[in-house]
Amino acid sequence: MTSLISDMARSVGLPALKRAAGVVTRVLPIPQPMLLVGPGASERLGQAIGAFAHRRILIVTDEVIVRLGLMAPMTDALSKAGAEFDVFDQVTPDAPLPQIEQGIARFNDGDCDAIVAFGGGSVMDAAKAIGLSAANHRHPRELVGYFKGLHGPAPIYAVPTTAGTGSEVTVAAVVSDPEHHKKLVIADTRIVPRMAALDPCLMTGLPAPITAATGMDALTHAVEAYIGQWGTDFTDRMALAAVGMIYQYLPLAFDDGRNLVAREMMALASTYAGLAFTRANVGYVHAIAHQLGGLYHTPHGLANAIMLPPVLRFSVVAAQSRLAKLALRARLGAPGEPESQLAQKFLDSVEAMNRSLGIPRQLDALRDEHIAELAQSACWEANTNYPVPRVMSRGDCEAMLREILPDPTPAKPVRHPKPVARKASRPKVSRPKAPSPKSTRP
C-alpha cells in the first residue's frame, strides 16, 4: 500500500515539478563564455589569461595531449606573460573520482587561483569538479545534484580538443564513480568557463572514429534539446544551427581530418549544441548512455550515437513536428511535405549517418542480465530530470536495449577452395570548398 501511494504521488508530482523546472530554466541567468575561434585560438587564450595576473594556474589535461605537445602554443604564451602554472595530466576517460581528488590536492597544494581545462569532455568536466570542490572544501560526491556548493569556483578557462561535448559552455560536470559503476552529475551555473578557445588546429589529428563519435554526440545534444519541452527561442536557434552545420561538415571532417574549415565549423556546432542543451536539457538517449558508460565504460559519444536512432523511433510520433523542422534544416526535404514524411526522413538520415561514419548498431559490451537494472536506472534519471517528448516505461527501455544486444557468436565461415579477394573501395565525392565563417559568436 505504501508503495502504491508513493507511486501515485510520484506520478502526480513529477510533471508539475518538471513544469516548474522548465519555467526556471527559461529565466535562470546562465553565463556564456567569451569565445576565441579559429586557428591559433589556444595561443590567443594563453595571452588573454596571462594578462589577468593570476597567482598560479592549474592546467587540467591528459597524458596524450602532453605527449603530443598540443598545449605548447598556449603554455608558451602564458610563460611569455610571466604567468606561473602547474600541469595536472592524470585525467582519463569518464573523469573517475579518485583522479578528481588528486586534482583537488594539486590545486590546493599549488595555491592556485585559476584553472585551464585543455582536452576533451572528461578533462573539462574534471576541471569543473576540481574547481567547485576546492572552492567549497567538499568532496565531489557531496556536490552531486544542483547548486550544492555555497561558493563558486576560481575562474575556469577551456580549450576543447574534440568537437562533441560542448562542456566549454555548459553548467554540468559528469564524472564517474568507479566503485559503484555510476555516472554522477554536478550542475551549477558558476562552473561555466569564463573564456573558451575553439582552435581547429588542435583537432586535425583526431582519428576518424573519434571524430565520428564526438560529432554524433554533438548532434544528440542538439536533437534532444530541440525535441524536448523546455526549449526557448534561443535554444531552438542554437539547436537548429548545430544540426545544419553537423550535417554539412561532419562528413567532411570525417573524410579529411585536416580540413580546417570543417573542423572549425564542427567546433562551433558542438558549442551551439552545448548552449542549447545546457538550458533545454536532454532526454532518454543521455539517460541510457550514462548507464552504459557507468557500467561498461562505453565512450559517451559512442553510446549516444548508438542510442539516438532507437530513441527517435520511440519518440517519432510525439516529436513529429519538431523532427520535421530538423529535417528541413538538414536539407532532407522541402517545405510543404507532410510532417510525418519529413520526420521519417530525419530518422532515416540519422541511421544513414551512423552507417556512413562506421558507428555500430550493437554494443558489444552489453549483457542481457544487466538490461533490467540499466533500464530502471535510465528511466529514473530521465523521468525525474528530463523534459522528454514521450515518457518511456521500464519495459519500453528494456526492449530498446535488447535491440542493441550484440549478435550471438557466428559460426566459423566455410572455407572455399578458391576464395576471391575483394578490396573495399570508397567512392570519392567532389565537394565544393566550404566558405570561412564571418561570425565567431553565437
The pLDDT, as a whole number, for residue 24 is: 73
Query: What is the count of structural domains for the chain?
Result: 2
CA proximity to 125, closest of 71, 61, 77, 65? 61
Digit-coded pLDDT (tens) for 193-210: 999 999 999 999 999 999
Same domain, 160 and 258: no
* Domain of residue 245, residue span: 206-403
The pLDDT, as a whole number, for residue 34 is: 97
Q: Looking at the domain assignment, is residue 4 inside a domain?
A: no
Same domain, 171 and 259: no
Same domain, 186 and 270: no
CB under 8 Å to 231, separation ≥6 — which residues?
225, 239, 276, 280
Euclidean distance between CA atoms 153 and 132, whole angstroms: 5
**Angle of helix 208-227 relative to helix 260-280, nearest 10 degrees?**
30
Out of 143-152, 173-182, 202-211, 426-435, which region has the weakest mean confidence (pLDDT)?
A: 426-435
Split at pLDDT 50, 70, 90, the class of 26 is confident
Is the model's pLDDT at 416 over the cut of 50? no
Please give the full DSSP string across 372-404, using - where no structure is assigned: HHHHHHHHHHHHHH---SS---HHHHHHHHHHT
Euclidean distance between CA atoms 212 and 291, whole angstroms: 21
Same domain, 252 and 176: no
Same domain, 347 and 331: yes
The pLDDT, as a whole number, for residue 286 is: 98
C-alpha cell at 50: 596571462
The residues pairing with 42 across neighbouring beta strands, listed in sequence order, are none
User: Which residue blocks in 40-198 are alpha helix, DSSP H?
Assistant: 41-50, 63-68, 72-80, 97-109, 121-136
The pLDDT, as a whole number, for residue 27 is: 75
The pLDDT, as a whole number, for residue 28 is: 83
The CATH number assigned to the domain holding 86 equals 3.40.50.1970
Q: Looking at the domain assignment, is residue 347 inside a domain?
A: yes
Biggest CA–CA distance in the chain, Å, is 74
Straight-line distance from the first to the last Cα atom of the chain, in angstroms, rounded to the nearest whole number: 52
Q: Looking at the domain assignment, is residue 427 inside a domain?
A: no
The pLDDT, as a whole number, for residue 18 is: 66
Digit-coded pLDDT (tens) for 78-94: 999 999 999 999 999 99
417 vs 333, which has greater pLDDT? 333
Over the Cα atoms of the chain, what is R_g?
Answer: 22
Is the model's pLDDT at 255 over the cut of 70? yes
Same domain, 392 and 300: yes
Digit-coded pLDDT (tens) for 358-395: 999 999 999 999 999 999 999 999 999 999 999 999 99
Is the model's pLDDT at 227 over the cut of 70? yes
Same domain, 198 and 210: no
Element (H, E) at 415: none
Percent of the chain with pLDDT over 90: 85
Euclidean distance between CA atoms 231 and 347, whole angstroms: 20
Digit-coded pLDDT (tens) for 62-76: 999 999 999 999 999
Is the model's pLDDT at 9 over the cut of 50? no
Split at pLDDT 50, 70, 90, the class of 25 is confident
Q: Looking at the domain assignment, is residue 220 inside a domain?
A: yes
The CATH number assigned to the domain holding 273 equals 1.20.1090.10
Q: What is the torsional sign of CA 43, 158, 243, 299?
A: positive
Out of 4-13, 21-30, 146-155, 178-187, which region has the weakest mean confidence (pLDDT)?
A: 4-13
Same domain, 150 and 216: no
Same domain, 183 and 130: yes
Digit-coded pLDDT (tens) for 285-323: 999 999 999 999 999 999 999 999 999 999 999 999 999
The pLDDT, as a whole number, for residue 411 is: 47
Euclidean distance between CA atoms 137 and 232, whole angstroms: 36
Q: Looking at the domain assignment, is residue 442 inside a domain?
A: no
Say if CB 311 and CB 288 are below 8 A apart. Answer: yes
Q: Looking at the domain assignment, is residue 411 inside a domain?
A: no
Out of 9-23, 116-130, 342-356, which region has the weakest mean confidence (pLDDT)?
A: 9-23
The pLDDT, as a whole number, for residue 42 is: 98
Q: State the average pLDDT for the chain.
A: 90
Q: Looking at the domain assignment, is residue 146 inside a domain?
A: yes
| Whether pTM exceeds 0.75 | yes
Say if CB 98 and CB 178 are below 8 A apart. Answer: yes
Same domain, 306 and 218: yes
SS3 per residue for 19-86: HHHHHHHHHCCCCCCEEEECCCHHHHHHHHHHCCCCCCEEEECEHHHHHHCCCHHHHHHHHHCCCCEE
Same domain, 219 and 343: yes
Q: Looking at the domain assignment, is residue 22 inside a domain?
A: no
Q: What's the whole-number mean pLDDT along residues 103-117?
A: 98
Same domain, 147 and 259: no
